[in-house]
Chain A
Amino acid sequence: MAGITLEAVTKIFPGTTVAAVEDLDLTIEDGEFVVLVGPSGSGKTTALRMIAGLEEMTHGRIRVGDRTIGNSPPRTRDMAMVFQNYALYPHMTVRDNMGFGLKMKRVSKQQRNERVERVAAMLDMSELLGRKPKELSGGQRQRVAMGRAIVREPAAFLMDEPLSNLDAKLRVQMRAEIANLQRRVSTTTIYVTHDQTEAMTMGDRVAVLHQGKLLQVDSPQELYRRPSNLFVASFIGSPAMNSMPAEVERCGEGISLRLAGQSLTLPRDSMARFPHLSVQPGAEVVVGIRPEDMQDPSFESRGDAGQTLEMRVERTEMLGAEIIAYMCLCEPDLKGRRAHAEATRPLGAEQHQDRNDLPAIFTARLDPRSVFKRNQIVKVSVAVDRIYLFDPATGRSLG
């Protein structure tokens, strides 16, 4: 077992000029579970494949423990990979699938069988050992793929979206299982997913990638509480963080934000919270508000219903324990613009959410007792002490 260090790892695919992965620096401690998360095309799978040796680096350095592995072939790296579509050997039984890596290492048949059986018992699939992959369900195949990796006792596990082919219920179950298993065997694990919930629930640390660049790597909690930029802020969390451009004004010792004709006053200490904020007249920022930081004032638990925004309820979804409300800011001239947009919208076209055309839709997590109704104009209290501010040009957090 060993930690893995990536130094300026870059991949430019032949025939392209844009780097699929650009100067990726990442240190993964021995035994750590790190999740690489990002939308499709963010370079997370390419990064994983370079660590595996299935893809050559254009330049950079990868170290496993104190060994530099460069572009050496996968078999020399002592890593096991779990693929998205399981990649079981279709012509072999489960036993042979799991034992294949050991066979390649010339482990004796008896030892091989012992190890395969031990891992099969651990994964609760001893009765599957004689079957071929095509006789297994998706969940069982997934288990075999995991088993095949575990049996080898490699230096690291590499997992490439291993749960994305499973149905929702099984996915949640396997998510917990994999995380538990990793803790039991405490093998360094790099796990790739596009699903932020998976990332947040499984990883010791989560690395967010976007367009080939590593934006932030932190514990799930830190990532949620202190996103380093707007992309991370809106990618992590479900429903996503609301964001909207606003003008900053100084207001006594505090700061006031003007959003589409309405204003929010930040508490006094906010100058300290946002050290990178410039309060020049007319300065613009992007305001970020988490859905749970917007509430129906009647149910504001913190007794601070002072800061509110007037909004119009577009739609609500009752989820039992909470209500998800989709609302837009009431602007003085909104009515006219809406009417115009509705009139010019092509028949059957989806409702527009372009910030320049119509105001952004805000999502709020409301108390289930809230009685907000569709098309109602309501006051929504905003937890201004938990507001996020970002530089509109770079997207960087100002906090």
Chain B
Amino acid sequence: MTSRLGRLLRGAGILAILAWSLGPILIGVLTSISTQAEVQATPAVWIPKSISWDGYRALVDSHAGAGLPGGTETAAFGRAMLNSGLVTLESTAVILVLSVFSGYAFSRLRFRGRIVVLAVILATLTIPVFALVAPLFRMMAGLRLIDTQLGLVLIYLSAEAPLAIWLFYNYSREMPREPEEAALMDGCTRLGAFVRVVLPQMGSGIAALTAILLLATWGQFLIPLLFAPTLNSKPVTVLITEFVGKYTTNYPLLAAAGVLAMLPPAVVAIFLNRHIRGMLSGWSG
């Protein structure tokens, strides 16, 4: 009896968690295919009578959006998606290369100040972003990097690389040394052994970190809000907020933008899901 009750409670718990996490997505999808009238109707219409693609059409085709409230921003949507994608890919690539090499170097090479340098890099993890925003802004302004993709990549690098370095430092430390030494004996240079023997063994770790970096960078909001004021570099996360008008808001358009912006991270999560789980449950090679 108790076990049945337990199962029932557990089922209810799982349902609640699912509703909590998937509910907003479902509402977003439903809103995106509703009409503005349906969204604003009282009592609320949850399920639209017929599917309306207006929101999506407006985002893809700027002429279609011209007449709608918030329509001026729709032309920018494609550009913002592109900005998001480019900055995410660029910074993920840079962070990966840097952290794989330096994590390995910190764990394997013996050089003066190794521990101190590593500790300083890790210590930066404890500084909250808010504390750095003002000085960072002045610095970026001085370097003329405001509103550039490079500027964003550099900031993400400084924010995300320490953790990535730490992960690869530990990952390298746990990897057996012998295959690498065997490669040295077999005629490799140190770099050769790293590229031919160590790197392929890090495959799952690299995949997991790639997924995490892609997701984290795509979802960045505060930093681009401050450092990416125009479409030169503005990502989709920031642009979407501008769809909220002062007097009226085109909810189907807003929801459609949200749904489209969710797609790339969803694809990443689906394809690299196995590796992310692997990393969360311990770095198993």
Which residue on A lies nearest to B175, using beta carbons?
A: A90
Closest 8 CB pairs of A and B: A104-B187, A87-B178, A101-B186, A87-B182, A91-B200, A74-B184, A75-B187, A81-B185
Flag B64-91 by CB within 8 Å of A: 1 or 0 each: 0000000000000000000000000000
Interface residues of A (CB under 8 A from B): 14, 52-54, 73-75, 79-81, 83-91, 100-101, 104-105, 148, 152, 158
Which residue on A lies nearest to B199, using beta carbons?
A: A91
Residue B122 CB within 8 A of the other chain: no
> B189 to A100, Cβ gap below 8 A?
no
> B179 to A89, Cβ gap below 8 A?
yes
Residue B260 CB within 8 A of the other chain: no
Distance from B162 Cβ to chain A, minimum over Cβ atoms (Å) = 28
A74 surroundings in chain B (CB, below 8 A)? 181, 184-185
Distance from A146 Cβ to chain B, minimum over Cβ atoms (Å) = 13
Where chain B touches its partner, the secondary structure class is: helix
Interface residues of B (CB under 8 A from A): 110, 176, 178-179, 181-189, 192, 196-197, 200-201, 203, 285
Which residue on A lies nearest to B187, using beta carbons?
A: A104
- Of B184, B197, B201, the residue contacting A75 (CB under 8 A) is B184
Which of A53, A75, A152 counts the most B-chain CB atoms under 10 A from its CB?
A75
Which residue on B lies nearest to A160, using beta carbons?
A: B178
> A83 to B200, Cβ gap below 8 A?
no
Which residue on A lies nearest to B178, using beta carbons?
A: A87
> A83 to B188, Cβ gap below 8 A?
no
B196 surroundings in chain A (CB, below 8 A)? 100
Asked if A89 meets B181 with Cβ closer than 8 Å, knowing A73-B189, A75-B189, the reply is no
A75-B187 Cα distance, complex, nearest whole Å: 4
Distance from A110 Cβ to chain B, minimum over Cβ atoms (Å) = 19
10 new A-B pairs (CB below 8 Å) besides A14-B110, A74-B181, A87-B176? A54-B185, A81-B185, A83-B178, A84-B178, A87-B179, A101-B186, A104-B186, A104-B188, A148-B182, A148-B186
> A87 to B189, Cβ gap below 8 A?
no
A53-B200 Cα distance, complex, nearest whole Å: 24
> A81 to B181, Cβ gap below 8 A?
yes
Q: Can you identify 9 A-B contacts, CB atoms within 8 angstroms?
A: A75-B185, A75-B188, A81-B182, A83-B181, A84-B178, A87-B178, A88-B179, A89-B179, A90-B179
Which residue on A lies nearest to B190, using beta carbons?
A: A73
Asked if A100 meets B201 with Cβ closer than 8 Å, knowing A87-B176, A88-B179, the reply is no
B188 surroundings in chain A (CB, below 8 A)? 75, 104
> A54 to B183, Cβ gap below 8 A?
no
A79 surroundings in chain B (CB, below 8 A)? 185
Distance from B226 Cβ to chain A, minimum over Cβ atoms (Å) = 43
A83-B186 Cα distance, complex, nearest whole Å: 13
> A52 to B185, Cβ gap below 8 A?
yes
A88 surroundings in chain B (CB, below 8 A)? 179, 182
A86 surroundings in chain B (CB, below 8 A)? 178
